[in-house]
Structure 1
Amino acid sequence: MRAVTSDDIAVLANPSAGRGRRRALLPAVLAALRESGRGVRVLEASSGEEAEKACRRAVGEGVAALVAVGGDGTVHQGLQAVAEQPVGFGVVPAGTGNDFAACTGVPPEPVAAATAISDALREGRHVALDLARAVGTDGEVRWFGAVLAAGFDAIVNERANRMRWPRGPRRYDVAILLEMARVRPRIYGLELDGADRSFEGTLVAVGNCASYGGGMRIVPDADPADGLLDVIVAAPLGRAALARLKPRLRRGTHVTDPRVTTYRARQVRLHADGIIGYADGERIGPLPLEVTCVPGAVRLLR
């Protein structure tokens, strides 16, 4: 790990977060961050890959803090740079889905969140929270803060990413309809802390935080400070059963369904043929994946 050598705050801002509606907030957010008494610089990036590289470069240069202004995708990019590093991480929720921020006690209003980051830096405090570390067969490490989806929702995400029409959120609605028509159970190899929990089912998710998709509480009891991952699996579900279960995700009451099983573990090994995992809404890569909870891996400023 590289020691912090700079007083600067590096800011990763996604101009399209919240479908662009919050772009005008950035000057006020930057002004609130400057109240910390530190210099503030916005990182330049035109793609997700460039954003991650810019974040890693800033952390390598020894910034005092990295701040992600956007939704869970922007947070995800920032986490790749700050995980297990001695640098503060701030989140200003400005996306359509802000699950990591909501789960970790970040103020929901962007300027208030930026003010809280400034206060934390000025007072020299942070909260150490867990992150999940995912490793695929290629050995690449990907960190996530919220939830890894590897069942029906991951299949929908993969379908939506392949589609060129329609644009915007309707693309996901169409992808859900298309995949719902062909939903089928999969055989999953699942190992939890060395114990075999393999199953046939439709849904599976691994959570460091409780929700994904903008408030769907897929693992409602997940706690990013307990050193454990929450795992949920669902038995084979047909179209009608899946449609009935989906609305209950907002309240987290789906876990009382007898077809749903929940676990907790420090390490999860997950495999199924033809599944691409998505974490924090971002494409991680094909299963198999090994996911490990790393306690205190991020220094959250709030």
Structure 2
Amino acid sequence: MSGTRVGLVVNPHAAAGSGNRIGARLMRELGAAGFDIVHLSGPTAGAALANARRSISEDRLDLLVVAGGDGMTHLGVNACAGTDIPLAVVAVGTGNDIAGALGLPVRDVEASVAMIAAGRTRSVDAGRVDGDHHRPWFGGTLYAGFDAVVNARANAWSWPRGQSRYNLAVVRELPVFSAIPYAVTIDGTRTETEAMLVIVANASSYGGGMHVAPHALMDDGLFDVMILHKISRPEFLRVFPKVFSGTHVDHPAVQITRGRRVLLEADGITAFADGEPFRRVPLRAEVVPGAVRVVVPAS
């Protein structure tokens, strides 16, 4: 790997605020392994993404490494998708669902460095959303509805950390949430329904281990679209814990359909992607097979 040009982007808030320390360790250990490292982090995620894209377009990188959770993976996917530059994820965030779906080391910097040094890659799918937007790609999930509202609430809090923050946001938002009228068109078949949420899943989980689409694969060329149709608040509280084991799929209000193209229509809501605010609905997404090369463990 001597002479391999590596761009590094770190979320300073990852790992309970230890992101910069982890970044310094990666600079040191990857440098010792023979990589030529350039730090591409910026004052904002948007600035870091612009730095990474510029370095790729100017042919100054052979590999992009991102350190953080699903938000950093989202940044990396948007930098590398559709290019021949591989993406390596050092999964040290609160939510590491995409890394988990890919079988990557989680919260293990030593194993991540060894994985990067070994250099094995595989191609995986990514979702691409139509329109003029600086982040058109998502790697794991695109979602709109109650889960997006909860995600926005949880993102606004610094405490508690981890899954507890999301669970508390559920408790705060559920009493004031009402089912939303949607039109969901999957490969030309349109469904109109009132629903609690709609998830377009490329990966099987989100939110730090909620297996919303337990059979979704990142290399099958298909989305798993999960709709939770309108249910009462008490029933939602009965169904919600089952998402951690994936057994919610047996509930009659849960519908999962596979497809390549999805048109999601609703009024006045914002979709999230990979844990990040994304864009307003309506939107149209398609799966792009093999859009991103990712670094994966050698065995």
Q: Which residue of 2 aligns with 1:94?
A: 92
Q: Which residue of 2 aligns with 1:12?
A: 9
Q: Which residue of 2 aligns with 1:260?
A: 254
Rounded Cα–Cα distance in structure 2 between residues aligned with 1:274 and 1:158: 15
Contact residue 183 and residue 238 of structure 1 kept, 8 A: no
Matched, 1:135 2:130: yes
Identical columns (%) = 37
Q: Provide structure 1 residue ranges, at least 5 long, that are not aligned to the other structure.
A: 1-5
Q: Which residue of 2 aligns with 1:168?
A: 159
Give the secondary-structure state (helix, strand or coil) at the position aligned to 2:113.
helix
State the Cα distance separating 1:44 from its structure 2 match.
Answer: 3.3
Q: Provide structure 2 residue ranges, at least 5 long, that are not aligned to the other structure.
A: none
Cα RMSD (Å): 2.0
Relative distance call for 1:282 and 1:134 in structure 2 (3 A) is same
Rounded Cα–Cα distance in structure 2 between residues aligned with 1:34 and 1:102: 26
Q: Deviations over 1:224-251 (max 9, x none)?
A: 0000001100121221111111111111
Rounded Cα–Cα distance in structure 2 between residues aligned with 1:104 and 1:204: 23
Matched, 1:30 2:27: yes
State the Cα distance separating 1:272 from its structure 2 match.
Answer: 0.8
Contact residue 146 and residue 279 of structure 1 kept, 8 A: yes
Give the secondary-structure state (helix, strand or coil) at the position aligned to 1:81.
helix
The match for 1:218 among 198, 207, 212 is: 212
Superposition map of 1:1-302 within 5 A: 7-21=4-18, 23-34=20-31, 36-62=33-59, 63-108=61-106, 109-120=108-119, 125-136=120-131, 142-160=136-154, 167-169=158-160, 172=166, 175-302=169-296
State the Cα distance separating 1:28 from its structure 2 match.
Answer: 3.5
State the Cα distance separating 1:139 from its structure 2 match.
Answer: 5.9
Give the secondary-structure state (helix, strand or coil) at the position aligned to 1:202.
strand
Which residue identity lines up with residue 121 of structure 2 in the other structure? H
Rounded Cα–Cα distance in structure 2 between residues aligned with 1:145 and 1:216: 16
Rounded Cα–Cα distance in structure 1 between residues aligned with 2:250 and 2:45: 38
Q: Deviations over 1:236-290 (max 9, x none)?
A: 1221111111111111110011111100000010011121000100011110111
Rounded Cα–Cα distance in structure 2 between residues aligned with 1:272 and 1:43: 37
Q: Which residue of 2 aligns with 1:3?
A: none
Rounded Cα–Cα distance in structure 1 between residues aligned with 2:148 and 2:14: 21
Relative distance call for 1:141 and 1:193 in structure 2 (3 A) is farther
Give the secondary-structure state (helix, strand or coil) at the position aligned to 1:216.
coil
Rounded Cα–Cα distance in structure 1 between residues aligned with 2:206 and 2:167: 16
Which residue identity lines up with residue 69 of structure 1 in the other structure? A
Relative distance call for 1:282 and 1:139 in structure 2 (3 A) is closer
Relative distance call for 1:36 and 1:127 in structure 2 (3 A) is farther
State the Cα distance separating 1:22 from its structure 2 match.
Answer: 5.4
State the Cα distance separating 1:160 from its structure 2 match.
Answer: 4.8
State the Cα distance separating 1:25 from its structure 2 match.
Answer: 3.2
Q: TM-score, normalised by structure 1?
A: 0.89
Q: Deviations over 1:58-81 (max 9, x none)?
A: 211220000111111111112111
Rounded Cα–Cα distance in structure 2 between residues aligned with 1:203 and 1:75: 23
Q: Judge which range, 173-182 or 262-271, deviates more.
A: 173-182
Contact residue 147 and residue 280 of structure 1 kept, 8 A: yes
Q: Judge which range, 49-58 or 16-25, deviates more.
A: 16-25
Rounded Cα–Cα distance in structure 2 between residues aligned with 1:13 and 1:216: 25
Rounded Cα–Cα distance in structure 2 between residues aligned with 1:61 and 1:208: 30
Rounded Cα–Cα distance in structure 1 between residues aligned with 2:167 and 2:219: 34
Q: TM-score, normalised by structure 2?
A: 0.90
Tell me how many residue pairs correspond in the alignment.
Answer: 289
